[in-house]
Amino acid sequence: MRILMVCLGNICRSPLAQGILERKVAAQGLDWEIESAGTGSWHIGEQPDPRSVYTAGQHGLDISAQRARQFGRQDLKDFDLILAMDQSNYRDILRLAQSPAEAKKVKKILDYTSDENGGDVPDPYWDDDGFEKVYQMLDQACDALIEAHR
* Residue 12 designated active-site: no
Q: How far apart are CA 140 and CA 147, in angstroms?
A: 11
Active site residue 142: no
> Which amino acid type is present at position 34?
I
Angle at 82 (CA atoms; ends 78, 88), nearest 5 degrees: 130
| DSSP conformational letter for 46 | P
Give the active site residue among 49, 75, 123, 142: 123
As beta bridge partners, residue 2 has 33
Q: Of the residues 12, 13, 23, 75, which is catalytic?
A: 13
Spatial separation of the C-alpha atoms in residues 30 and 16, rounded to whole Å: 19
Write out the catalytic residue numbers. 7, 13, 123
